Amino acid sequence: MDRLSSTPVLPGRNGDVTQLGMVWEQVKAPVIVPLLRIAVFLCLAMSVMLFVEKVYMATVILAVKLLRRRPETSYKWEPMEDDMERGSAAYPMVLIQIPMFNEKEVYQLSIGAACGLSWPSDRLIIQVLDDSTDPAIKEMVQIECRRWASKGVNIRYEIRDNRVGYKAGALKMGMKHRYVKDCDYVAIFDADFQPDPDFLCRTIPFLIHNPQIGLVQGRWRFVNADECLMTRMQEMSLDYHFAIEQEVGSSTYAFFGFNGTAGVWRIAAINEAGGWKDRTTVEDMDLAVRASLKGWKFIFLNDLGVKSELPSTFKAFRHQQHRWSCGPANLFRKMVVEISKNKKVSLWTKVYVIYSFFFIRKIVGHIVTFIFYCLVIPATVFVPEVEIPMWGLVYLPSVITMLNSVGTPRSLHLLVFWVLFENVMSLHRTKATLSGLLDLGRVNEWVVTEKLGDIMKTKLPTKAAKKPKVRIGDRLHKMELFTGAYLFFCACYDLKYGKNHYFLYLFLQSITFFIVGFGYVGTYIPQS
């Protein structure tokens, strides 16, 4: 920057640039440098915490694999068998809840899969909780329920006068019906989830033979993971969540966040925890935390896959990530004191829930990704006095990235693309996390994740001859474009004046932001 201060003052535009450079030099040393060093220190500290958490989870998973620990060996489990004397009465009553909202493309999948479960028909109640606002869709769902009812399936079509509480409100209202009192367990499936016929036969025995178990959670499997590059990126992130994070929680403290679907609850556990609450957008995690504080244990079955659909449009994915990032942060704000004062669980369990589950994974993991890699590191190209150690710049992120990739070995060749895309999404996750922590803005906004089902197979080919008009504004995303422009400027400056070769990363990251900003990511469904 010495070149700026030594440049002679020239009239006009050159003189203004020189004066701006002199002001920068006067402000940089006393203000910018100390602030940027503090930011680097905080980001490095958060990176270390995240690194330790990833290594800890990897160590637990390695131990689980080496010791061959499985839920079937850790807990009592016996297959369901027919009783000649008692008949179907040997099976407990199970309620299946399928909440849905304008699910035109997928409602038949979940209803059909639920009606195909291997369980005595007189011991199973299927409850379709339809909050749809489109009368045509409501009629289609109702007709589908009637069709299955005519086949002897005990299926109930339930609606409400309002959408108060969204999904939590629907589930809560569904539990108030008189026939639910006869049920011992409730399985929940979102509208795009398709459980295999043996789902209940594999989960219910854990609840029957282990009275301390309140929840048995299955793993999501994705039918459209190969639809586009964005769905492959999502598969990598979610496979790590299930194969590592959920498995670690289940194996160590018998606690993890309920995923909101593909799980079976003991109704007594729901009632003791206080039932469904709609104070955040993560009603599933809220219930899981409250139930765990009452002493209930959870089991995760990694080998019990349930087919589901990933959001394939960027708009749907962005709304989903906002809800998944804002909700946990807001729940942490509302429950941290309650968790710390709880006396039914051990100190280590409370530390795990507060520090590992909430603080590191739901807050630090989002914030450090965007602040460090998209703001602080680019800013240091203008302030060479602030140096970032190689261990924090390369080594720790590389190890964290490699550990994240173990959940989806088939996508190892996409690791670089995944890192760049995750950095882009960290922009929205950080914004949502801060909104949740501060209880601001769209903290309680609930936008149902759009499902396409077979729409791409059945509709797009028929419209090939006539291309619908595409409005540019529908595809542009300003925040990504502004961030991409900032990174591109930093990359150009570093290319000309820098010595650390940050521009190699900055150019790639800025291009990724531009690609997303101009709407060239995911499946695009133009409005005809």
Q: Would you please indicate which residues are annotated as catalytic (active-site) residues?
A: 131, 284
The C-alpha atoms of residue 136 and residue 138 are separated, in whole angstroms, by: 5
- Please name the residue that has the structure tokens 């790590």: 240
Distances 21 to 33, 36, 378, 379, 486 between C-alpha atoms, Å: 15, 19, 19, 16, 19
The C-alpha atoms of residue 519 and residue 214 are separated, in whole angstroms, by: 43
Distances 188 to 178, 287, 294, 305, 328 between C-alpha atoms, Å: 18, 13, 21, 14, 20
Q: Are strands 124-130 and 155-159 parallel, antiparallel or unpaired?
A: parallel
Helices (H), 274-389: 283-293, 314-341, 347-351, 365-370, 377-379
Six token digits for residue 445: 């906004």
The C-alpha atoms of residue 349 and residue 401 are separated, in whole angstroms, by: 27
The C-alpha atoms of residue 398 and residue 403 are separated, in whole angstroms, by: 9
Distances 485 to 245, 393, 515 between C-alpha atoms, Å: 35, 22, 12
Would you say the C-alpha torsion 177, 183, 189, 194 has a positive or negative sign?
Answer: negative
What 3-state class would DSSP assign to 325?
Answer: helix
308 DSSP β-pair partners:
222
